[in-house]
């Protein structure tokens, strides 16, 4: 368990090579509580990303929890989902201002 006193940035790289027929494939990041339940879905990524590694970031909310990276796919045994370079920054998330 980790306690975040304020919202914090999570960055990671991912690779998803998913068959066109596999419409259920997803990479999801959840907060995972002390009660061993997925509490909040932070991000869900779906679909084929070809052969390129992708880079993304998400704001982690303040609180005490673990992170759960959950990769799911359907019946396509050739599907591939991978993670790399997972980094929790020391910088707080800033709200996006739109005009």
CATH 2.60.120.200 for domain 2-92, yes or no, is yes
CA dihedral in degrees (76, 20, 71, 78; nearest 10)?
40
The Cβ of residue 7 has, within 10 Å, a number of other Cβ atoms equal to 15
Q: What is the pLDDT of residues 20-30, one digit of tens each?
A: 777 778 899 99
Q: Is the pLDDT of residue 62 over 70?
A: yes
Query: Mean of the per-residue pLDDT values for the chain?
Result: 84
Give the pLDDT score at 76: 65
CA–CA gap between residue 82 and residue 39 (Å, rounded)? 23
Comparing 71 with 23, which gets the higher pLDDT? Answer: 71
DSSP string, 50-83: TTS-EEEEEEEPSEEEEEEEEEE--S-TT-EEEE
Please state the domain extents for the chain: 2-92
């Amino acid at each position: 368990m980790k306690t975040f006193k304020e919202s914090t940035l999570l960055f990671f790289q991912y690779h998803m090579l998913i068959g066109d027929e596999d419409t259920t494939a997803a990479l999801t990041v959840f907060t995972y509580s002390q009660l061993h339940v997925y509490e909040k879905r932070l991000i869900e990524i779906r679909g084929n990303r070809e052969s390129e590694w992708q880079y993304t970031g998400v704001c982690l909310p303040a609180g005490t929890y673990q992170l759960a990276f959950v990769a799911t796919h359907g019946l396509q045994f050739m599907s591939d989902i991978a993670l790399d370079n997972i980094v929790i920054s020391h910088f707080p998330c800033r709200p996006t201002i739109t005009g």
